[in-house]
Amino acid sequence: MKKKCIDSIILHCSDSEFGDADLIDQWHRERGWSGCGYHFVITNGVIQAHEKYLPFNDGLVQVGRDINKTGAHCKGHNTGSIGICLIGRHGFTAKQLYEALPELLRMLMFDHEISLDQVHGHFEFSRKKSCPNISKEIIRKIAEYSV
Ligand SMILES: [Zn+2]
């Protein structure tokens, strides 16, 4: 199936030290949304609050919202974009940044013919946000590494 309507990817962070797609789904429903606003979530090894780091929970790619449905992650830019959320606030794990994310980007960029220039950080669309707390330079490097 051709999905030409998708033309960009926007990266986010959860701004939490822990979490997964189920927890974000819960948080977003509590805000009155129809469920997880991101299409994908990448875990950091800590799923629940006060849990210790578990390596097998690090770098898991989870589906948050069906990719054929419009996301709710970036005001004014939800149409045509895929939202990916890295669990974490300021620091991310090597598995998230250098394994799971590039692998996911590689697949999505290939499937949807998305170019390097179309991989963005949330902060590029909102002056008030620093999300995902990864510089444009690093985002670019990860995207380059993914193609
Ligand atoms: Zn964001």
Range of the domain at 49: 8-146
* 22 within a domain of the structure (yes/no): yes
Provide the 8-state DSSP code for 45.
S
* 3 within a domain of the structure (yes/no): no
- The answer, yes or no, to whether residue 146 has pLDDT greater than 90, is no
Using one digit for the tens of pLDDT, what is the confidence trace for 46-88? 999 999 999 999 999 999 999 999 999 999 999 999 999 999 9
Using one digit for the tens of pLDDT, what is the confidence trace for 114-135? 999 999 999 999 989 999 999 9
126 CA to centre of ligand 1 in angstroms: 9
Pairing of strands 8-13, 81-86: parallel
* 2 within a domain of the structure (yes/no): no
* 59 within a domain of the structure (yes/no): yes
Contact 135, 90 (CB under 8 A): no
Provide the 8-state DSSP code for 28.
H
Residues of the chain with pLDDT > 90, as a percent, come to 93
The pLDDT of residue 4 is 59
47 CA to centre of ligand 1 in angstroms: 19
Q: What is the CATH number of the domain that holds 128?
A: 3.40.80.10
44 CA to centre of ligand 1 in angstroms: 16
74 CA to centre of ligand 1 in angstroms: 7
Number of structural domains (the chain) is 1
54 CA to centre of ligand 1 in angstroms: 25
The pLDDT of residue 147 is 84
Q: Number of helices (H) and strands (E) in the chain: give both, helices first.
A: 4, 5
